[in-house]
Structure formats: C-alpha cells, structure tokens
Amino acid sequence: MKKIATAILVFDLMAGLLFLGLWESNGEMITWKETTGKTVTGTQADRLAVPEQTHDSQEEIRKIAITFDDGPHPSYTEQLLDGLKERGVHATFFVTGEHAKMHPDIIKRMQEEGHLIGNHTYSHIQLTPKNREKFKQELIDTNAVIQEITGEEVQYVRPPYGAWDKSFEKELNMFPVLWTVDPLDWCSSNVACITEKIVDKAGENDIILMHDYFDTSVTAALKAIDELMEEGYTFVTVEEILFD
C-alpha cells in the first residue's frame, strides 16, 4: 500500500514538473519585430496571435455605400432613418435645397445620426449647355440651406441625371459622386424585385443609388441592407469608399 502511495506521489510530482515546464516555455517573454517595424515583447502565444488577428480584421471589412437622392420626404425619410438607426448603418443623402428647406429637422437628424449629407441642386435641375450659371447658382443656394442647418460645409454633390461640368469642382470646391449600382427603384413598386436587383449587382466598394422619396424604395433598401450585411458587408458613407 505504501509503495503504491509513493508511486502515485512521484507520478504526481513528475506530472506537475512537466506541466510547469510546458507552462514556462509557453509563458517565456520574447521580443520580436512586427511587419509595421514596431518591436513588441510578449509570449510565443502572443506572437502567433498577432498576425492572425490583423489578417482576419482586414479580410472581414468589405465596404459598400448606399445613397438616397431627392429627399428629405416628410414621412419616408423618417421611416428610413429609423431603419438605419436600428441596424447601425450610415448612409449618404443627396438632398435638394427645396426639400431641405421644408424639413430642416430631418436634415438635422441625418447629421446627428452620422449620415453624410450632399447637394442634389435646389430644384432638381439637369445641367445642359444652356443653363450652366443657373445650375451653379442652385448648387450654391443648396449649400447655403444645408450649411445653415448643420453648420458644416457641403463637399459632395450628386448632379441630377449624372450631368456634370468638371470646372465646378475648382470653382465651388465640391466633389461629384455618381453611382455604380442603379436598381431603378423609382420605376418599380415591386419591393422584392428592387431588393433582388440591389443584392445581385452589389459588390465591394459599390455605391448604390436609391431614392428616399418612395415607401417601396425605403422598404427595399432596408431589406437589401439586411441581406448584404448578412453576406458580410459593412455600410459606410461615400466618403469612406472614395477616400479611405
């Protein structure tokens, strides 16, 4: 009996020493240089964990932007803002001066909730070779309306129908933002069809064009956001797509 007890004790001691040894070799502090050039001190386990974490976080961020033109609409835009807030999604709104002036509270809410606000002319006019000065004045007037509400300078413009004159960029210090995915939401009242068009066409770094002036567009946009988030996309403002 005594022999067995001694054997168990010896075995236990050896196992304990072995465990201690393993723990020590894993816990030993070492110093290494990261790819950024930074010298880091830690355990071997820390060293192995670092590149893996960096790799994962880089791979996971697939950015995409959704934009809404023509608003704010007195009820649909608020509905949309509620939905975006619930999902923690930031969007970009290209508003007309006319509608912004009518609904300053909605513009303020967009700003407070982290959305980007851009210019979509005052009365939604299309630039033609004949109306250059009028178009330019509409941009200036809309900037003034938005700036009065938000206190911030407006830097981005979405020209209606995409018609633009590059010389405005220097003259007004404004940057045009077009789009890469157009589901033509304004010409369909079929929510499922609009959602499908967005989800099918959208990919990384795309800028989706929508309008917060129709309830079907708002419903479809939120559904598409849900599906794309499930696919791993992160919604950002156009600024983050264009300049990050």
Q: Is 69 marked active-site? A: yes
Closer Cβ to Zn ion, 116 or 233, answer by number: 116
- Min separation Cβ 81 and Zn ion, Å: 19
Catalytic hit among 46, 69, 90, 200: 69
Question: Helices then strands (H, E): number in the chain?
Answer: 10, 9
Residue bearing tokens 């005594």: 2
Residue bearing tokens 């770094």: 205
Q: Which stretch binds Zn ion (CB under 5 A): 29-37, 51-59, 63-71, 79-87?
A: 63-71
Closer Cβ to Zn ion, 70 or 206, answer by number: 70
Q: Which stretch binds Zn ion (CB under 5 A): 44-52, 58-66, 157-165, 218-226?
A: 157-165
Cα 58 to chain centroid, rounded: 15
Instruction: Indicate the SS3 state at residue 232.
Output: coil
Query: Position 137: which residue type?
Result: Q
Closer Cβ to Zn ion, 70 or 185, answer by number: 70
Residue 233 has phi, psi (to 5 degrees) of -80, 150
Catalytic hit among 99, 115, 211, 212: 211
Q: Is 90 marked active-site? A: no
Helix boundaries (H) for 61-131 = 76-87, 97-102, 104-112
The count of residues interacting with Zn ion (CB under 5 A) is 3
Q: Which stretch binds Zn ion (CB under 5 A): 52-60, 70-78, 104-112, 197-205?
A: 70-78
Query: Position 157: which residue type?
Result: V
- Token code pair at residue 92: 């970009």
Q: What number of other Cβ atoms are within 10 A of residue 235's Cβ?
A: 20
Closer Cβ to Zn ion, 159 or 241, answer by number: 159
Taking CB under 5 A as the rule, does residue 69 contact Zn ion?
Answer: yes
Taking CB under 5 A as the rule, does residue 70 contact Zn ion?
Answer: yes
| Residue 231 DSSP code | T
- Min separation Cβ 90 and Zn ion, Å: 20
- Catalytic (active-site) positions: 69, 211
Give the binding site for Zn ion (CB under 5 A). Answer: 69-70, 160
